[in-house]
Amino acid sequence: MITIEMSEVRDNSSRLREIITNTHLRAWIGKMAAMCQPDRLVLCQGGAAERRELFAMGVSQGVFIPLNQEKLPGCYLHRSNPNDVARSEASTYICTPLQAMVGPTNNWMDSKVAYIRLQELFGDCMKGRTMYVLPFVMGPIGSRLSRVGVQLTDSLYVAASMDIMTRMGDRALHVLGESAEFARCLHSVGDCDPRRRYICHFPLDNAVWSFGSGYGGNALLGKKCMGLRLASFQGFQQGWMAEHMLISGIREPDGNKSYVTAAFPSACGKTNFAMLIPPESYRKKGWQVTTVGDDIAWMWVDDTGKLRAINPESGYFGVLPGTSETTNPIAMRTISHDTIYTNVALLPDGDVWWEGKTAYSPAPATAPIVDWQGNPWTPETGRPAAHPNSRFTSPMQNNPILDPAADDPQGVPVTAIIFGGRRASTIPIVYQAFNWSYGVYVGASLGSETTAAATGRVGVVRRDPMAMLPFIGYNIGDYLVHWFRMRAKMADPPRIYHVNWFRRDEHGKFIWPGFGENIRILEWILKRSHGKAYAVETLLGWMPRPDDINLDGLELDTQAFAAAQRVDAEALKAELLAEEELFLKLAGELPKEMIFMRELLISRL
């Protein structure tokens, strides 16, 4: 880290010019510092030694609590403000001169109005604080899609987290060189007043200004803000795609390796899919699954017409409740060291706990358990020990099944794209779209059922096109058109599939075992994509016969699987009527291909 005094910034001193040689970056930093008025600037250079220094500073300032270094080496606990525990969608805006650029699914604010409002908030907001300068790269160094960003922040937590989640420091400045092309990301925790909380994206300026939150996607501006909202708009302009998708590699017994991307709404098994461990019977045969990424995929079509993908992030920012040795042992190994835990319970021995980590709540020992807000806790309090949206921030190098190509600038070839949702009925376990256009329709009409805990009603289907609804940085109609246009660039497009691990039987029990057993469905998907598997034509798409799925060792027999694959025409008609919610919302914005695909589906009924 290099400390820069404000006097050096005001005077544009020779030392400042030696430290920050890029004139565009130096001028922007000077302008933002003059507005925010920090006491000093600290330029972060990246690396393990600097990260340790950031943690040490955080401990001294009360930002981080060191955990048991024997059990959890290199791990720290952070507690956010109790009113600042999740992405603030109501406070998230896309700011452009014309509302038509934003469309019906985003919050819009006129860019001039937004800048005026934000300048009032940011004015003098860092007095008495340090401004951390965080240059970073999204994507493997040297990739054609990699993008440089620079975040200015007054949060030490953000500085340490961005070092994990991005390729931060001197290497980013080296990639930037003298270019003016970098995402300008300004952030301040401010006073953390929700009434003064704004996460504003300026796609035409390649900029994000975030004020009033120090948590997650509101504050780590390389993630959802730059990685999806700004990047999706840039992909639309430049002919590539930024999607809310995991990327996994699957090696088959014959040594052939394929890569798939998958888009699931929340609570549909995305992280478990990205870190899937095949059952022992498959591992013995040589099946292996590796992780390229668990959240974001940037994709382009190479010179041969093949769709390729990179993971722009270098770490994981995952949900903890429900994560355990049973549900996701790979995640548990990943977060066993060098990890930031946010808003979890602290045990007397310096370990951490969250609901679902173990079958039973830990019993207090010599000292009480401390909940995520820093208060004494026992199960009898009736409140959760960890916040339901508590998180871990961990480097991807911690992942024991990290794919060797995870940092390859050439990316990986995409064989299949998988969409999935949580549906108790109607939707089968797996089917293949007839073609790319119908696959886009399948993804665009993606729905997942809410739970009683979330909405008070069970079985309410919420539409989430491509699992991207909160993250599309421009008009959703243009976004869907872009999906259709990408097909023209491809010589051999990936096959598109839909999965539903959550179909229930007449007794309300899950039919499919899920977790590692999902490799059985992936086996058919890969064979089908390579022209080696049979399928039958149905109303919804191509489906495997029961005999086409390996059910050996499962309690599920072919008859039960056939029942889980059954498509009821009347139920499907009701599903089409339910999709009217999406179609009405997009009235006037809907691509003609979507309407055509819908009419074809109706005609099959």
List the domains of the chain with CATH numbers: 2-43+89-238 (3.40.449.10), 243-314+407-604 (3.90.228.20), 316-396 (2.170.8.10)
In this prediction, what percent of the chain has a pLDDT beyond 90? 83
The mean per-residue pLDDT over the stretch 253-259 comes to 96
Q: Quote the DSSP letter at residue 433.
A: -
Q: Is the pLDDT of residue 455 over 70?
A: no
pLDDT value of residue 459 = 57
Q: Is the pLDDT of residue 434 over 90?
A: yes
**Please, which pLDDT band fits residue 451 given cuts at 50, 70 and 90?**
very low
456 or 132, which is more confident: 132
pLDDT value of residue 585 = 76
**Please, which pLDDT band fits residue 453 given cuts at 50, 70 and 90?**
very low
Q: Quote the DSSP letter at residue 474.
A: S
C-beta separation of 130 from 39 below 8 A: yes
Please compute Rg for the chain using Cα positions: 24
Distance CA(64)–CA(339), nearest Å, equals: 12
Distance CA(220)–CA(241), nearest Å, equals: 21
Q: Is the pLDDT of residue 577 over 90?
A: no
Q: Give the residue from 340, 304, 147, 312 showing the smallest Cα distance to 245.
A: 312
| Average pLDDT along the chain | 93
The three state secondary structure string of 282-304 is HHHHCCEEEEEECCCEEEEECCC
**Please, which pLDDT band fits residue 457 given cuts at 50, 70 and 90?**
low
**Please, which pLDDT band fits residue 458 given cuts at 50, 70 and 90?**
very low
The mean per-residue pLDDT over the stretch 381-385 comes to 91
The mean per-residue pLDDT over the stretch 446-469 comes to 69
pLDDT value of residue 112 = 98
C-beta separation of 225 from 208 below 8 A: yes
> Which of the residues are catalytic?
268
Dihedral in degrees, nearest 10, Cα atoms 254, 255, 260, 265: 80
The mean per-residue pLDDT over the stretch 340-350 comes to 96
pLDDT value of residue 450 = 64
Q: Structure pTM?
A: 0.95
pLDDT value of residue 270 = 87
The mean per-residue pLDDT over the stretch 171-198 comes to 96
**Please, which pLDDT band fits residue 586 given cuts at 50, 70 and 90?**
confident
Q: Is the pLDDT of residue 208 over 60?
A: yes
Lowest mean pLDDT among 120-124, 266-270, 327-331, 465-469: 266-270
